[in-house]
Amino acid sequence: MTIAIAPRSRKVRVLATLGPASNSREMIAKLFEAGADAFRVNMSHGDQASKVGVIQAIRSLEAEYRRPTTILADLQGPKLRVGKFEGGRVELATGSTFVLDRDPTPGDATRVELPHREIFAAIEPGARLLLDDGKLVLRVTEHDVDRITTMVEVGGPLSNNKGLNVPDVVLPMAALTDKDRSDLAFAVEQGVDWIALSFVQRPEDLMEARGLIKGKAALLAKIEKPAAIERLEEIVEQCDGVMVARGDLGVELPPEQVPPLQKRIVEVSRRLGRPVVVATQMLESMIQSPSPTRAEVSDVATAIYDGADAIMLSAESAAGAWPVESVAMMNAIGNAVERDPAHGDRVHFTVMKPDPTTADAMAEAAKGIARTVSAVAIICFTTSGSTARRVARERPSVPILVLTPQAETARRLGLLWGTHAVHTRDVESFEEMVAKAKRMALRHGIAKAGEQVVVMAGVPFRTPGSTNVIHVVRIAGDELKDYGAAG
């Protein structure tokens, strides 16, 4: 049985991470019905075999709900960790000396193995080393090729294999590990729509992943290293989407620096026309509680007011006690913020200047025409999705109905602000374009009889990147009787 669900009235997308609390098909369906627009599969946990059923379950929703499903595979990236300790745990005293070296012998309160030779080559005196998500802080005093001597600025307990962050230097490490390359190949083979690359430091980090993907998925750069901020625009230009990964970013930077950086990353991504996701600890208390704190609600609302394309749940939906409620809360916050009369003005606080191209000029014009004639939607015919991305970049006040003959394009648009993508047959003529626009607007509840829509397409048809037509269409009352014709 198929269940047709009306397009979300909410324009910001909700990205839900799947995990032990939500990996079943039944739970994935509940998350979708509660408001999830896309699903994140975290390659850091579990093996590849366990992901096959999850990906198949997500895809099976397409037939049931008659809507493309969007899957993002998030690669683990190079995880830096210290070695093991005699007894499994030590206490580092503030003000003491602590050494990281290449000796695999279990450590103690004076030293431990650091199995990452790249750090020894790049570290400098005065640089910080952060342990266990920043709970412990070491300051480098001297180093050589096999030994880093530090002074403990903030001490505390430290146990086996705890994580290490190196915020003050650019490490000469590839963004892809052997595990990542294997996971990437697996994800592409499984047909996921987005690949998220962790710990991007520079635009060159994206090149290997791009080559391995070979156009079979879109590439998303996670901004979680201070080094990435220094070359932010270059990185954004080299990827298809961006994630503000506030977890590691908040470890490696003082927490008060994260909010302005979040706004900057969102602004740059929007200006360059890349979907941007705000992630990490958005409704953290809902891992254990059925309701969020007021501060968390305000945090989510701020990202929506800033014009983020998507907001993401991590452990809340993956491993928490209230996964469905977390998604429903995200959905409710999005709807409430977008009903605010001031929402439109705040979203447009960031000025989007169109590039001097026909496509950008058309997208800007479509937004203006829709506003002037009180159209209820903008309908885009697209093959690659570029027309939809340009229109979404303008943040129009009306929904964007995207009609595409490419299932892959429809799926990738699940992270794009304000879009409702439909996989449908292509059109051959102007008359067919108009008829299909009307039919799909009615079928998907985008428009009613007597209302107007703005239609965008390219002539000649079936030519990617040729958008050059804007047409205003009024839905006539007598068209209601045959709106159910084949798509």
Reduce the secondary structure of 210-242 to three states and give it as a string.
Answer: HHHHCCCCEEEEEECCHHHHHCHHHHHHHCCEE
Catalytic residue among 222, 225, 231, 412: 222
The secondary structure of residue 39, as a DSSP letter, is E
Is 232 in contact with 265 (CB distance < 8 Å)? yes
SS3 259: helix
Per the structure block, which two tokens stand in for 99? 């050494």
Catalytic residue among 8, 40, 51, 270: 40
State how far the Cα of 194 lies from the Cα of 379, in Å rounded to an integer: 24
Residue 153 phi, psi (nearest 5): -85, -35
The DSSP secondary structure of 419-448, one letter per residue, reads EEEEE-----SHHHHHHHHHHHHHHTTS--
State how far the Cα of 241 lies from the Cα of 389, in Å rounded to an integer: 11
Q: How far is CA 427 from CA 77, 419, 433, 458, in A?
A: 42, 20, 6, 11
SS3 163: strand
Catalytic residue among 66, 81, 202, 264: 81
Active site residue 40: yes
Farthest CA pair distance, the chain: 83
Catalytic residue among 17, 69, 70, 280: 280
State how far the Cα of 129 lies from the Cα of 106, in Å rounded to an integer: 20
Active site residue 474: no
Residue 378 phi, psi (nearest 5): -115, 125
Q: Would you please indicate which residues are annotated as catalytic (active-site) residues? A: 40, 81, 222, 280
